[in-house]
Amino acid sequence: MFDFTWFSDPSAWAALATLTLLEIVLGIDNIVFISVVVGRLPIEQGKQARQIGLALALIFRIALLSTVFILIGLTAPFFTVFDHGVSFRDLLLFAGGLFLLVKATREIHADVEG
């Protein structure tokens, strides 16, 4: 029926631990941001704004995780380059890596230039 062999795979547990840690950090970040924004509101509006903000943060997090789950499953070759099949997932990972390289280079350049 179901393939549960991933239970014995250490890389699956490491990925789960990493995702759990990221979710905790993002949750704390959301709480801090919402607290700063709500602190500027009148007291009577603060409680409602806090509840709406946390609910929207949860909804968006679930939607983004679902989207990532779907996109990672797109492994069928989209086109080939030098007899190597390139999937939509490969394109997304390449674009993400390229973004991180550009962002890191700009940050380093800004620090060096002052």
Distance (Å, whole) CA 64 – CA 47: 26
pLDDT digits (tens, 9 = 90+) for 28-76: 888 898 889 888 888 888 889 989 988 998 898 889 888 888 887 888 8
For residue 67, with 0-12 CB atoms within 10 Å meaning exposed, 13-18 middle and 19 or more buried, which class applies?
exposed
- CB-CB contact of 67 with 79 (8 Å): no
In our burial notation (b when 16+ CB lie closer than 10 A, e otherwise), range 14-25 reads: eeeeeeeeeeee
Question: Which residue pairs, CB below 8 angstroms and at least 24 apart, start in 34-37?
Answer: none
Q: What confidence category does residue 114 fall into, taking pLDDT thresholds of 50, 70 and 90?
A: confident
Domain spans of the chain, in order of start: 8-72, 75-114
Please tell me whether the overall predicted TM-score, pTM, comes out greater than 0.85 for this model.
Answer: no
